[in-house]
A and B are shown apart, each in its own frame.
Chain A
C-alpha cells in the first residue's frame, strides 16, 4: 500500500466532512478514489456521476497495485460544497470503492497532466513553435518537414497556456491524459 501514498489508518469515512459549511460557490476538487480493479468498476463510478447529475472535468484511471488489484481513479469535479460532499459520500458507498480522498481539502497536493500537441506549419511559425516548446520544456516526440508533435507535462493550467500559444502557430490536434494527483509530503 505504501506505493499508493495514501495515509495509513485512513477509513472510508476519512474524506467526509459531516459538518460542512454549505455555500453556493462552485468549487473545483480533485478526488483520489481507490477501487478494486474488477470489470465494470469504472462504469460504476461514471454511472454515479451521470445518474446523479454531477460533473466530471477530468478522469484518469490505472491499476496502481498489481498484487492487491487496486486502481486509482483521479477525478476532477466541480460543484457547490454540498454537492462535493455528496459526491464523496456516494463514491464511498460503492461496494468496490476502498477509499475516497479529497486532495483539495486534505492539504497541499501536486497535480500533473501529460499532453501531446500536433503543430503543423512552415517558416517562422514553425521556428516560433519550437522556441516556445523549449521555454515550456516540451519535448519533440515526432517531426516531419512541416509538423511537430510536442509532449508536455505539467499542471493543467500550464498545458492550457501552452495550447493557447500553439493555436495561432498551427495547432491541429491535442491529446490530454487528464489529471493525476498526489498529496505532498509524507
Chain B
C-alpha cells in the first residue's frame, strides 16, 4: 500500500513502521515541519535534550541497552555539527543509531545559507553511511534503508539529511518491506574454517576465549551460546571493555577484563596461551599492548562480521567472517558432533597456572583512614546494587576503568561505556537514554567530575522527564587519567589536569530541581548510597575520593602483557621514549 503524504509526515510514519517508540532531539528552523508532525501524534515519544551531543549519546544508551537502533532528530548546521562526536563514538563502538538532520531547502544548498553546513560531507567519515534526500518520493525508501544499514552486519550510525522543502512537499510513501538492496552482509561463517577451529579447540593445551562487543551486538542468543561453549569446554574467558556482561562476572571461568587496565590473570593468560579464540573483538591497541610481543606463541582464531577487522592488526591463523551468534551455533554443532573433545588434563594444568596468577589478587586495595578510595566506593556500590535490575553507564577515565574492574556484569546490554572513542561526557546522556528504555530499572552513571561537567546540561532533561538516573561522581578534583600519565610520563608536571573552580554539586542538583548528596567519609558511604537508591528521582552523588589514586594494574605504553605494573611500587621511568609517543 502506498500513500500520498508530506515528507515530514513520511518521516514520522517511517519511524512508526520501524517500531521506534522514542526519539531524542532538539528542534530548529530546518526541522520545524517534522516537529509539527511529532506534535500531532502519540505513537512516538520525543525527548528534548539540552544539547545535540546529548541526544546522540542518549540514543546510544538506548541502543546499547535494548539492542534496537536509537533515533535522533536535530536541525541543520550547528544541530548537525553538534552530533558529530556522538556519531563518531557510535561508529567506533559499532552502535546502531539513525540520525535525522534538517537541511536548508534544496534550492539554497551551496549558497552559505543561514544554518547551512555540508552535513553529509562532514559526517561521511563518521557514519557507516549517510544520505542527502533531494526528492520527497525517495524519502521513505531511504529511511527504511537507513534502518537496514544501521542494524545489519557490523552495526553503526547512519545519517539522513533532509532539506526543508523535501519535508514540505508531498510524495508517495512506501511502507517498510524486507530490504532488497545489495547491502546484505554475510552472517554465516565458512564451515571449513569453523571445522578447523574445532580441531584447534580439541588439541589446545592452553586456550583462552577473548571476547568483545561483537558478542553483545549479535544479540542475547550469542551470549547464551558463548556461555554454553565456555561451560562445555572449561576454557578460561576474558573480555574487552565493550564485551563485559556477555559472560557473567560471577562465572568461575571468568578472568576479568583484559588490556591496559585489565587483570593480571587475564593478560598473563593471553600472553601464555597456545590458542586464542577472538570472538567479536578487534585487537584494539588498548588490548594488545606492543604488537611484536602480543601473545607470541599462540594460534589465533578471529571471528568477526567485518572482514576488514581480520588481519588489520594481528594476523589471524583461523579467520572466520560471520555473525558471532551464527558462528557459535555452527561451532558448537560441529564440536559436539565430533565427540566434545578437549585436552582435559592439559586444561586442568593450565587452570592451575591461571590460579597462581589469580592469587596475586591484582585488584586488591586497602581502604584506611578518613578518605574514600575510589575502589572502595565502587566496591560498596557493587555490594549495595548488584541485586537490583541494574544498568551502568560511565564517562571516560580512571573511574571508567575502576567501574570495569570492580563492578560485576552478569548479563549483556547492562554496561554502556565509550570504548573506542573515549568520549568524556558520554555517560550522563547515555544514562538518560537507558532510563527511557527501562523506566523501572536502576540506572547509574559512574562518572568523574570532569567528564560529568562536559554534558551536565542534561540535568534539565533528567528532571523534565522525571528520569531517576543516579549520577555517581567519583570526585578527585583532577583529570585523574591525565594526571596519572603525567605522573608516569612527564615528570609529575601536572599541566592543566586539575580544576580549581568546581561547582558545589549538591547545590547544582538543587538548582536543577534534583537531589544532591555529598559523601566524604568512608563510614558514611553505605548510608549515603542507600539514600541515593531510595530517592525516587535524579540524584547527583558527589563522592569525594582520594585525589592521587592511580589506576592499576596497567600495561604501560609500548610494553607487553607480561610487563604489567601492579601497583604503586615502582612506576617512574617505566615508559621509555618509544612508548611515550603512544596514547
Contacts and interface: CB of A to CB of B under 8 A. Distances in A.
Interface string A84-97: 01100110111110
A92 B308 contact: yes
A12 B153 CA distance: 13
B310 interface: yes
A40 B121 CA distance: 8
Interface in B65-121: 120-121
Nearest to A39: B132
Interface stretch (A18-26, A108-116, A132-140, A157-165): A18-26
Interface in A78-107: 82, 85-86, 89-90, 92-96, 98
A3 interface: no
Interface string A36-57: 1001100110010001000000
A95 B186 contact: no
Contacts of B236: none
Contacts of B132: 39-40
Interface residues of B, number: 23
B128 A95 contact: yes
B124 A47 contact: yes
Nearest to B127: A95
Given A18-B316, A19-B319, A39-B132, A89 B310 contact: yes
Interface residues of A, number: 26
B308 A89 contact: yes
A13 interface: yes
B535 interface: no
B319 A18 contact: yes
Interface in B295-342: 306-308, 310-312, 315-316, 319, 321
Contact of B307 (A13, A44, A51): A13
A39 B124 CA distance: 12
Contact of A92 (B125, B307, B311): B307
Contacts of B312: 86, 89
A44 B120 CA distance: 11
B310 A18 contact: yes
Contacts of A96: 129
Interface string B112-154: 0000000011001100110010000000000000000100011
B311 A20 contact: yes
A69 B129 CA distance: 18
A82 B308 CA distance: 11
Given A47-B125, A95-B128, A90 B308 contact: yes
B307 A18 contact: yes
A18 B154 CA distance: 18
Contacts of A47: 124-125
A33 to B, nearest CB: 14
Given A19-B319, A95-B183, A98-B182, A43 B308 contact: no
Nearest to B306: A93
Given A18-B319, A19-B319, A98-B182, A86 B308 contact: yes
Nearest to B120: A40
Contact of B124 (A20, A22, A44): A44
A92 B186 CA distance: 12
Nearest to A91: B308
Interface string B165-197: 000000000000000001100100000000000
Interface in B507-547: none
A36 B145 CA distance: 15
A24 B271 CA distance: 25
Nearest to B311: A85
A86 B125 contact: no
Contact of A86 (B153, B311, B319): B311
Interface in A60-82: 82
Nearest to A38: B131
A85 B306 CA distance: 13
B303 to A, nearest CB: 12
Contacts of A85: 311
Nearest to A89: B308
Given A16-B307, A85-B311, A43 B121 contact: yes
A89 B315 CA distance: 14
Contacts of B149: 95
Contacts of B183: 95
Contact of A13 (B153, B154, B186, B316): B186
A145 B520 CA distance: 92
Contacts of A95: 128-129, 149, 183
Contacts of B120: 40
A85 B311 CA distance: 8
Contacts of A16: 307
B124 A43 contact: yes
A142 B153 CA distance: 54
Given A13-B321, A93-B306, 8 more contacts: A18-B319, A22-B311, A39-B132, A47-B125, A86-B311, A89-B311, A92-B308, A95-B149
11 contacts: A13-B186, A13-B307, A22-B311, A44-B124, A86-B312, A89-B306, A92-B307, A92-B308, A93-B153, A95-B128, A95-B149
Interface of A: 11-13, 16, 18-20, 22, 36, 39-40, 43-44, 47, 51, 82, 85-86, 89-90, 92-96, 98
